[in-house]
Chains A and B, each alone.
Chain A
Amino acid sequence: MKVLLNGQESELGCDETLLDLLAQLGVTPERRGCAVAVDGEVVPRAQWGSFALPEHARVEVLTAMQGG
């Protein structure tokens, strides 16, 4: 299954979850200051392990950055 992870095409096994995808970026639910949106909707961290990613999902993984 193909998804768009922070603008980059990424391949995902059919039994892999959002949690597995995030692990590619070193993001775990324990990590502070991170948030994930799939197709413009927030996915709370409690749901990362169970969230079913649709084909071609746009996954945005965001974190704190310096900015005014």
Chain B
Amino acid sequence: MTDTVGARTPSAGAQLAANGARLPAQGAEPAAPDPLRIAGRELRSRLVMGTGGFASLQLLAEAVTAAGSDLATVALRRIDPRAQGSLIDVLDAAGVQLLPNTAGCHTARDAVITARLCREAFDTEWVKLEVIGDEHTLLPDAPELLRAAEQLVDEGFVVLPYTTDDPVLARRLADVGCAAVMPLGSPIGSGMGIRNPYNIALLREAVDVPVVLDAGIGTASDAALAMELGCDAVMVASAIARAQDPVAMAAAMRAAVQAGRLARSAGRIPRRSYATASTPDEGLAEFT
């Protein structure tokens, strides 16, 4: 884990603090002094919302608002003529940009076809590229992922690949033109947090594109840690959707992402094995 202070100026830190001070406000973020930039687009929120697992569209809408997100994932599945309500309408009303995914794809070929269908369905070039290599862990299939990423970048997509926490693979993905990388903290839906923070910190140093910590977040402190490690954003799905109170957890994640970002820019103290007194000995009373 790195203890270095970010290159942020004090004034930018003060702006961040001011932003954080308005935390209780619901809905859209205030004019962002610290936007997340992906593929030339500015996003005010650094919390990306996964939409899977919510018990109802109403609950999803409330959680997205509490999270303050302006980017939310959608999947593509066979149409069910009996389905009630429109996910797209709910996300439109919440004012979020769609980030379609290729969830469930196991080969580069299937992921590429699914991405093309997403572009047709949602009228966006953005795609969260998932190519799964193992049913039990849902870990990415690295060679297939890289192949699909390269193909989709060639076809003009803005590719955000869900990847392992391997800094070398992340660099290869960035090298083929991915707009960001989305490393896992631990397996999807596991809630185990960031199992290897050292790799996430190394990965952050290895690429110039934004790093969005994906998968494994269990609670707010995991999201804060991701930001403290230098990630540019965090994506949360299950940890909000399956919390006992999803709307409250969405608000907690929002605060955690802001706190982590602020702490990263503030520059943490180095870790030491022994105590360093915070009160001077000078002037200490003598009683015997």
User: Which A residues contact B (CB, under 8 angstroms)?
Assistant: 6-7, 25-27, 32-37, 40-42, 44-45, 60-68
B51 A62 Cβ-Cβ under 8 A: no
Q: How many A-B residue pairs have CB under 8 A?
A: 91
Task: Report the Cα distance A46→B122, complex, angstroms.
Answer: 15
> Which listed residue, A37, A45, A65, touches B75 by the CB 8 Å rule?
A65
Could you say which residues of chain A place their CB within 8 Å of the CB of B52? 66-68
> Which listed residue, A7, A27, A40, A62, touches B76 by the CB 8 Å rule?
A62
Could you say which residues of chain A place their CB within 8 Å of the CB of B78? 6-7, 60-63
A33 B237 Cβ-Cβ under 8 A: no
Show 21 residue pairs from A and B whose CB-CB distance is below 8 angstroms, ordered by the A residue.
Answer: A6-B79, A25-B79, A32-B88, A34-B121, A35-B121, A36-B117, A41-B113, A62-B76, A62-B77, A62-B78, A62-B79, A62-B117, A63-B76, A63-B121, A64-B75, A64-B121, A65-B74, A67-B50, A67-B74, A68-B52, A68-B235
> Which listed residue, B101, B120, B238, touches A35 by the CB 8 Å rule?
B120
Could you say which residues of chain B place their CB within 8 Å of the CB of A6? 78-79
Task: Report the Cα distance A40→B111, complex, angstroms.
Answer: 11
Task: Report the Cα distance A25→B78, complex, angstroms.
Answer: 11
B117 A68 Cβ-Cβ under 8 A: no
In the complex, the chain B residue whose C-beta lies closest to that of A22 is B79
Task: Report the Cα distance A34→B122, complex, angstroms.
Answer: 8
Q: Which 9 A-B pairs have the closest CB atoms?
A: A67-B75, A68-B50, A68-B237, A35-B121, A65-B77, A35-B117, A35-B120, A33-B88, A68-B52
Q: How many residues on the B side are at the interface (Cβ–Cβ under 8 A)? A: 31
Could you say which residues of chain A place their CB within 8 Å of the CB of B77? 62-63, 65, 67
The reply on B116 being an interface residue by CB < 8 A is yes
The reply on B10 being an interface residue by CB < 8 A is no
> Which listed residue, B54, B122, B188, touches A66 by the CB 8 Å rule?
B54
A33 B120 Cβ-Cβ under 8 A: no
Interface centre among A6, A7, A27, A67 (most CB of B within 10 A): A67
B87 A33 Cβ-Cβ under 8 A: yes
Could you say which residues of chain B place their CB within 8 Å of the CB of A44? 120
10 additional A-B residue pairs with CB within 8 Å, beyond A60-B117, A62-B78, A64-B88: A6-B79, A33-B121, A35-B117, A37-B113, A62-B117, A62-B121, A65-B75, A68-B75, A68-B101, A68-B237
In the complex, the chain B residue whose C-beta lies closest to that of A32 is B88
The reply on B273 being an interface residue by CB < 8 A is no
> Which listed residue, B51, B81, B121, B188, touches A26 by the CB 8 Å rule?
B81
Given contacts A25-B79, A25-B81, contact A67 B117 (CB under 8 A): no
A42 B113 Cβ-Cβ under 8 A: yes
The reply on B249 being an interface residue by CB < 8 A is no
Task: Report the Cα distance A62→B120, complex, angstroms.
Answer: 10
